[in-house]
Amino acid sequence: MSSNATPSKGAPVKSTGLHVGEPAPGVAKVDPIIVADNVTRTFGGLKAVDVAHLEIPRNAITALIGPNGAGKTTLFNLLTGFDKPDTGTWTFAGTSLAGVPSFKVARLGQVRTFQLTKALGLLTVLDNMKLGAKNQKGENLFRALLPFLWRKQEEEIEAKALDILQRFKLDAKVEDYAASLSGGQRKLLEMARALMSDPTLVMLDEPMAGVNPALTQSLLDHILDLKTQGMTVLFVEHDMHMVRHIADWVVVMAEGRVVAEGPPHDVMKQQAVIDAYLGSHHDQDLGATESENVEAMKELLHDED
Ligand SMILES: Nc1ncnc2c1ncn2[C@@H]1O[C@H](COP(=O)(O)OP(=O)(O)OP(=O)(O)O)[C@@H](O)[C@H]1O
> Model confidence over 286-303: pLDDT tens digits?
455 666 666 776 666 665
Q: In this structure, are residues 222 and 168 in contact, taking their beta carbons and an 8 Å threshold?
A: yes
Q: What is the pLDDT of residue 282?
A: 45
Model confidence at 200: pLDDT above 90: yes
Which amino acid belongs to residue 90?
A: W
Phi, psi of 268 (to 5 degrees): -60, -25
Model confidence at 172: pLDDT above 70: yes
Taking residues 168-176, report their average pLDDT. Answer: 94
Candidates 39, 43, 236: which one to mutate for ligand 1, based on the most atoms within 8 Å of Cβ? 43
- pLDDT band (50, 70, 90) for residue 281: very low
Give the distance (Å) from ligand 1 centre to CA of residue 236. Answer: 13
Q: Looking at ligand 1, which atom is closest to the CA of residue 76?
A: 18
Q: What is the CA radius of gyration of the chain?
A: 20
Model confidence at 115: pLDDT above 80: no
Cα angle at 7 between 6 and 10, to 5 degrees? 90
Q: Does the Cβ of 132 fall within 6 Å of ligand 1?
A: no
Q: What is the pLDDT of residue 139?
A: 53
My answer on whether 108 and 127 are in the same domain is no
Q: Does the Cβ of 74 fall within 6 Å of ligand 1?
A: yes
Ranges of H-type helices in the chain? 72-79, 102-107, 118-121, 125-131, 141-144, 147-167, 183-195, 213-228, 240-246, 264-267, 271-278, 288-302
Give the span between the Cα atoms of 49 and 36, in whole angstroms: 12
Q: How many distinct structural domains can be found in the chain?
A: 2
pTM metric for this prediction:
0.86
Q: Does the Cβ of 45 fall within 6 Å of ligand 1?
A: no
Candidates 40, 42, 50, 73: which one to mutate for ligand 1, based on the most atoms within 8 Å of Cβ? 73
Q: Does the Cβ of 77 fall within 6 Å of ligand 1?
A: no
Give the distance (Å) from ligand 1 centre to CA of residue 69. Answer: 5
ipTM given for this complex: 0.97
> Model confidence over 209-248: pLDDT tens digits?
888 888 888 889 999 999 999 999 999 998 888 899 999 9
Residue 47 lies in a domain: yes
Q: What is the pLDDT of residue 193?
A: 92
Q: What is the DSSP letter of 177?
A: B
Phi, psi of 186 (to 5 degrees): -65, -45
Domain range spanning residue 140? 118-180
Q: Does the Cβ of 46 fall within 6 Å of ligand 1?
A: yes
Q: What is the pLDDT of residue 81?
A: 92
Nearest residue (CA) to ligand 1, atom 3: 43
My answer on whether 155 and 36 are in the same domain is no
Model confidence at 1: pLDDT above 50: no
Q: What is the pLDDT of residue 96?
A: 96
Model confidence at 276: pLDDT above 90: no
Nearest residue (CA) to ligand 1, atom 23: 69
Distances (CA, A) of 290 to 47, 260, 297, 298: 20, 20, 10, 12
DSSP string, 82-147: SS--SEEEEEETTEE-TT--HHHHHHTTEEE-----HHHHTSBHHHHHHHT-SS-GGGSHHHHT-H
Q: In this structure, are residues 134 and 197 in contact, taking their beta carbons and an 8 Å threshold?
A: yes
Q: What is the pLDDT of residue 165?
A: 96
My answer on whether 10 and 91 are in the same domain is yes
Give the span between the Cα atoms of 262 and 187, in whole angstroms: 27
H/E run at residue 53: strand 46-57
My answer on whether 294 and 214 are in the same domain is yes
Nearest residue (CA) to ligand 1, atom 26: 68
My answer on whether 294 and 246 are in the same domain is yes
End-to-end CA distance of the chain: give it in Å, rounded.
Answer: 23
| Residue-averaged pLDDT of the chain | 85
Give the distance (Å) from ligand 1 centre to CA of residue 174. Answer: 35
Q: Which of the pair, 9 or 75, is modelled with greater confidence?
A: 75
- pLDDT band (50, 70, 90) for residue 284: very low
My answer on whether 3 and 108 are in the same domain is yes
My answer on whether 67 and 6 are in the same domain is yes
Return the CATH number at 218: 3.40.50.300
My answer on whether 91 and 122 are in the same domain is no
Q: What is the pLDDT of residue 289?
A: 61
Give the distance (Å) from ligand 1 centre to CA of residue 293. Answer: 15
Residue 187 lies in a domain: no
> Model confidence over 54-92: pLDDT tens digits?
999 999 999 999 998 999 999 999 999 999 999 999 999
My answer on whether 200 and 290 are in the same domain is yes
Q: What is the pLDDT of residue 140?
A: 58
Q: In this structure, are residues 3 and 15 in contact, taking their beta carbons and an 8 Å threshold?
A: yes
Give the distance (Å) from ligand 1 centre to CA of residue 61. Answer: 23
